[in-house]
Structure 1
Amino acid sequence: MTSYAIHAGALFDGRNLSGPATVHVMGDRIVGVDRTGAMPADGTEVLDMGPSACLLPGLIDTHVHLVFDASPDPVSSLASTPDSALLAHMRAAARSALLAGVTTVRDLGDRDYLSLALKAELARQPEHGPEILAAGPPLTTPGGHCHFLGGEVEGADALRAAVRERHARGCSVIKIMASGGHMTPDSVPAHASQYGLDDLRVVVDEAHRLGLPVAAHAHGLRAIEDAAEAGVDSLEHVSFLAADGVTCEPELVDMLVRKGTFVSLTMGLDPNVAVQVPESMAAHVDALLDTYSHLHKAGAQVVVGSDAGVAPWKPHDVLPHGVADLARLGVSPLAALASMTSLAARLCRVEGRKGVIAAEADADILVVDGDVAHDPEAVLNVQAVFRAGTRVR
């Protein structure tokens, strides 16, 4: 079993920033953290990253789609790709995320449960990609948003059966399309609900009975309110979208804060690719960003889901850009990093094992160069990435 130590001038442990530190690794686990700044004196191999380096927990992306290829038309690309070729693409996408320092991803919608097949592969060879927390095909209404992924279901009995199937297959989370979306033009509009409160309660109750969290895709105001009232664990996108635009309702924000519902904000854009916002959202981007800022200031439990794969400006290594995106909303770089590490781990039910640098945690470690407390782009200056104790970059 390999044993070594990583030394750097700073350490962000998922919650707090401190000075020079040494992290001791044995096999695939962290076995100790020395914050005195001293180097080991017992002959342990030391990887000294330098005084300007900072050690971070591997990042957690709470919303990706490994089956989407970040092309101009990922839906058509998906439809024309057989499973064998699609799985090969997913391997490459997962590898891309890992090399950017994303060591855990929550895949919130695939086809034919392919993310579970890749998860099993990576469990045997973790150095090839991040740990995958898979949802399988998302639950959606017949002809509804992302129906082409194969998760069409309606009625209480069928919804319960769909939840049980995903649990039996080994999924880590249940994904439900509470509202319409922008990638499925023939379905209901993004602001309209697909499932009502009663159906959402059926899904949440069955999932929680089986020990699984529920993530609800929710753009529309009614969908957000119903999903939160039903007790979902996270709301994805949270656009506060009405038929006439984005409307930040203070009472609904207060409800989300009071209930402790996680809000998974869709952040992280490739700055080198021009963004083409869906026509239904183009006039409302500023209002949406104001809403995101208000959610943070109100004390909502904010995590970041990049939605990687859905567009050219959403490649699978895009999550680290979310730190700078959040900074533009007034979120401090350290708070942004916490939302992508320790807070995201709590949502994903891997707290203590992921999202922290501490004894007994997985040795998923990101090393960057720069002042992470003041420079939101420091996380892009990747010096090294370790996955399950193996250096991959």
Structure 2
Amino acid sequence: MNSFVIHAGSMFDGFSMSGPVAVHVSGGRILRVDRTGVLPSHGGEVIDLGPSACLLPGLVDTHVHLAFDAGPDPVTSLASASDSDLLAHMRAAARSALLAGVTTVRDLGDRDYLSLALVEEMAHHPELGPEILPAGPPLTTPGGHCHFLGGEVEGDAEALRAAVRERHARGCAVIKVMAGGGHMTVGSVPAHASQYGLEDLRVVVDEAHRLGLPVAAHAHGVQAIRDAVEAGVDSLEHVSFLTEDGIAPDPGLIGAIVNRGTFVSLTLGLDPAQAVRPPKAMTAHAMAAHVNAVLDAYSTLQQHGADVVIGSDAGIGPWKPHNVLPHGVGDLVRLGVAPLDALIAMTSRAARLCGVEGRKGRITAGADADILVVDGDPVHDPAAVLDVRAVFRAGVRVR
């Protein structure tokens, strides 16, 4: 059994900061946490990372696409790849996320359930990548957003129930439904338009919840957001408040999101070395204005007390590599979120959304030994999250 002690100058445990700490690890789990920082007097391996090191729970990304290659045209790349080549890419993408300290991801859209093959592989070799919580192919209308992933389902109650049951039977951890359109699918409805109506979404949510699965709804448009909230989805992905005329956050809808306790998975985290490429119909100037308006909407959501987490949407372009999530801490802070709350959003709160609360997103006795070690104090300097000293996955040091 692999047993050791990690010693560091400080720790963020998923909720608060504390001083010198000794974390005892055994068999892939955290055995106990000594907040005095006193090392055991008996023998055994001690990994002493020094007084400037800070321990954090491994980060949780609530929205990734391991099947997208973060290239200039990820849809074409995916369409031309064989299953074996695509799986090889997905392994590399997962490894990239892990080395950045992302130890849990929700994969909210793969092709033909390939992420489930990775789940099986990593059950035996967790050090190869983060724990993956897969959705399989997202439910979408025929010809709808991301239909090329293989999840087309007519807006028919029995067909929707059957699609949810299939994902449950295959071992998916979450149901992803494209409540509205998106930007990446040629010929589909615009991002501001709805794909499924309220009754369709209610069918999906009721069947998923009956089977014990949460529902994540892709929703840019105001009506899609409203219907998803009313239907009782567990998380809203993107939440852009798009209308045909632009972005228009609705105060009443924001209130409903907060009152219902619906998680909002904000699309944050950008590689600062890469420019965001606007859709073909949008100029760079219009894209910048659009991004600023979305960020204003995100700021309004968090100011009103929404349960905010970060879903990076890793893979959808060069500005979204699979190791991008840690950049989201700074993004949240720039929106007015206190650094401590930003860290909570990417650890314990994200774990609660993903249904792995207690086991992930915390440094506490009984939790998985998924630990990120950075240099510095991320509460006073959020950029410290990017200065990775070490990463442990299920008690194995991978970096």
**C-alpha deviations, 1:274-304, integer Å up to 9, x for none?**
1123345713221111110111111000000
Give the match for residue 83 of structure 1: 83
Deviation of the 1:371 alpha carbon: 1.3
Question: Is 2:357 aligned against 1:351?
Answer: yes
The DSSP-based 3-state class of the residue aligned with 1:284 is: helix
Deviation of the 1:38 alpha carbon: 1.3
The DSSP-based 3-state class of the residue aligned with 2:32 is: strand
Scaled by the length of structure 1, what TM-score is found? 0.99
Give the match for residue 48 of structure 1: 48
**C-alpha deviations, 1:355-377, integer Å up to 9, x for none?**
00000000000000011111111
**C-alpha deviations, 1:74-101, integer Å up to 9, x for none?**
0000010010100000000000000000
**C-alpha deviations, 1:220-267, integer Å up to 9, x for none?**
000000001000000000000010011111111110000000000000
Q: May I ask how many residue pairs the two structures share in their alignment?
A: 393
Letter in 2 for 1:330: G
Deviation of the 1:57 alpha carbon: 0.3
Give the match for residue 334 of structure 2: 328
Deviation of the 1:331 alpha carbon: 1.1
Give the match for residue 321 of structure 2: 315
Letter in 1 for 2:364: A
Give the match for residue 65 of structure 1: 65
Question: Is 2:27 aligned against 1:27?
Answer: yes
Counterpart-to-counterpart distance in 2, 1:172 and 1:277: 32
Give the match for residue 367 of structure 1: 373
Give the match for residue 116 of structure 1: 116
Scaled by the length of structure 2, what TM-score is found? 0.97
Counterpart-to-counterpart distance in 2, 1:381 and 1:233: 33
Deviation of the 1:44 alpha carbon: 2.9
Letter in 1 for 2:347: T
Counterpart-to-counterpart distance in 2, 1:102 and 1:332: 21
Deviation of the 1:185 alpha carbon: 2.5
Counterpart-to-counterpart distance in 1, 2:369 and 2:278: 38
The DSSP-based 3-state class of the residue aligned with 2:356 is: coil
Deviation of the 1:332 alpha carbon: 1.8
**C-alpha deviations, 1:307-337, integer Å up to 9, x for none?**
0000000000000000111111111222111
Letter in 1 for 2:217: A
Counterpart-to-counterpart distance in 2, 1:227 and 1:220: 11
The DSSP-based 3-state class of the residue aligned with 1:377 is: helix
Letter in 2 for 1:106: R
Which residues in structure 2 correspond to 1:104-253 (within 5 Å)?
104-154=104-154, 155-253=156-254
For structure 1, the residue ranges without an aligned partner over 5 or more in a row are none
Counterpart-to-counterpart distance in 1, 2:392 and 2:330: 23
Question: Is 273-282 or 256-265 further displaced after alignment?
Answer: 273-282
Counterpart-to-counterpart distance in 2, 1:166 and 1:322: 30
Question: Is 2:303 aligned against 1:297?
Answer: yes
The DSSP-based 3-state class of the residue aligned with 1:32 is: strand
Counterpart-to-counterpart distance in 2, 1:205 and 1:307: 26
**C-alpha deviations, 1:116-141, integer Å up to 9, x for none?**
00110011100000000000000000
Counterpart-to-counterpart distance in 1, 2:278 and 2:369: 38
The DSSP-based 3-state class of the residue aligned with 1:94 is: helix
Give the match for residue 286 of structure 1: 292
Counterpart-to-counterpart distance in 2, 1:334 and 1:6: 22
Deviation of the 1:45 alpha carbon: 1.7
% identical equivalent positions: 75
